[in-house]
């Protein structure tokens, strides 16, 4: 099964607690994004992008807010 961008971010930084610390939230928030909300709140996507040194982008995390332009996808 393919990982979601959030799952990749969690793995890259070393776990939910590590990502939470880097984003300035509690671990329970990260769990909620992963298991209940199924998406990251818009106000946290750039913190995750920074935490992963750009390995997980804001476009990947929220394509509904930041669609990839057709010329960028090619």
Count of structural domains within the chain: 1
User: 45 with 52: CB under 8 angstroms?
Assistant: no
Residues contacting residue 29 through CB under 8 Å, at least 6 positions apart: 20, 23
The predicted structure's pLDDT at residue 1:
77
User: 11 with 3: CB under 8 angstroms?
Assistant: yes
Mean pLDDT by 10 residues, the chain (74 residues): 94 98 98 94 97 97 86 58
CATH number at residue 16: 1.10.260.40
Residue 3 gets which letter from DSSP?
P
Assessment of whether the complete model's pTM goes beyond 0.85: yes
């Amino acid at each position: 099964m393919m990982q979601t961008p959030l799952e990749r971010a969690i793995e890259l930084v070393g776990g939910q607690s590590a990502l939470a610390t880097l984003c300035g939230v509690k671990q329970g928030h990260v769990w909620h994004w992963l298991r209940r909300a199924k998406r990251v709140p818009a106000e946290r996507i750039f913190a995750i992008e920074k935490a992963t040194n750009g390995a997980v982008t804001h476009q990947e995390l929220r394509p509904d807010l930041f669609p990839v332009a057709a010329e960028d996808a090619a």
